[in-house]
Every structure is written in C-alpha cells, then in structure tokens.
C-alpha cells in the first residue's frame, strides 16, 4: 500500500519474478485501516523509522508484524512476542520471518493478540501509544527543561 519512486521498478520486478498476478500495487489509499483488515501479517521493511503510526494500527488490528530492527520499531514490536524483527537490508531474513508466520496460524494469532494488548496497555491512565500520552510526555519534558 502506498506509492513512491520505486513503484515502476517493483512492478517490473514482479513481472520478472513471475508474481505479478499475485501482487497488487494499490497506490496511495485513504482507506488504510480497511486495507490492513484484509491482511494476515503486516510487514514493514524500513531502513529509517522513528515511531510508525501504521505499526500501532497494525497491532491494534491484531496483526503480527514482521519489521526491521531499526530506530523506534523495537519500541513497538517485541521480537518473538508481538512480531519478528529482522536486520535491515536483509531480504532473506525478512522472507524467512514472513514464512514462519505464514505457516503457523496459531503463532500469528498469539502474536497479533499480544501486539494488540501491547499498544493498548495504559500508562498513567492513557493508552501507551496515544497522541494524548505523547502530548503529555512532551509537556512534561518542556516543564522539566523550564524548571532546570
């Protein structure tokens, strides 16, 4: 889902690999949650990711996640519990992780359930990854800087 500079190259690659009939390039969409509801596994092979909103959304939809172990992703995806983390720029590890989940419906379900619980747990009365909590944390940071 989405679009970008690599789309044409990826479309040609899908043809060359003989998987174009099994691959859908959706382009930009506004109904991302509806699209994500059709998934069994959410895969995010980022090279650079601060704190991805789509990872929180995927977990809230009970989806297990396969993602790269970069920057903020390990704060959201607990390796072996809510998903599988792989090294960046390692398509073989990414494919192996997807295959592990594709072959094990029970593991997908348990990781998805654990992921949903992880992102919806409450800290100081607010959902852990909610915008309200992020605002509160920023306000607390600013207050601490002002009073130092």
Segments of the chain scoring below 50 in pLDDT: none
The CA dihedral of 88, 20, 100, 87, to the nearest 10 degrees, is 0
User: Under CATH, which number does the domain 32-120 receive?
Assistant: 3.40.50.2000
Give the bridge partners for 44, in sequence order: 67
pTM score = 0.86
pLDDT at 65: 98
> Residues 6 or more apart from 33 whose CB is under 8 A from it?
57, 61
> What local confidence, expressed as pLDDT, does residue 134 receive?
87
User: What per-residue confidence (pLDDT) applies to 55?
Assistant: 94
pLDDT at 1: 81
- Enumerate residues 6+ apart whose C-beta is below 8 A from 9: none
pLDDT at 19: 95
- E strands present in the chain: 42-44, 65-68, 83-86, 122-123, 126-127
Supply the pLDDT for residue 78.
Answer: 97
Domain ranges in the chain are 1-30, 32-120
User: Nearest 5°: CA angle at 142, between 119 and 78?
Assistant: 20
Tell me, what's the pLDDT at 116? Answer: 96
């Amino acid at each position: 889902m989405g679009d970008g500079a690599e789309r044409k190259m990826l479309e040609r690659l899908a043809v060359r690999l003989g998987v174009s009939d099994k691959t859908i390039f959706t382009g930009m969409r506004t109904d991302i949650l509806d699209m994500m509801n059709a998934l069994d596994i959410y895969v995010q092979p980022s090279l650079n990711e601060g704190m991805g909103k789509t990872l929180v959304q995927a977990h809230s939809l009970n989806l297990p996640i396969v993602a790269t172990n970069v920057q903020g992703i390990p704060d959201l995806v607990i390796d072996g519990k809510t998903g599988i983390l792989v090294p960046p720029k390692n398509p073989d590890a990414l494919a192996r992780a997807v295959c592990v989940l594709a072959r094990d419906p029970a593991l997908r379900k348990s990781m998805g359930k654990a992921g949903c619980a992880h992102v919806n747990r409450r800290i100081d009365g607010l959902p852990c990854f909610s915008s309200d909590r992020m605002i509160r944390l920023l306000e607390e940071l600013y207050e601490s800087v002002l009073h130092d």
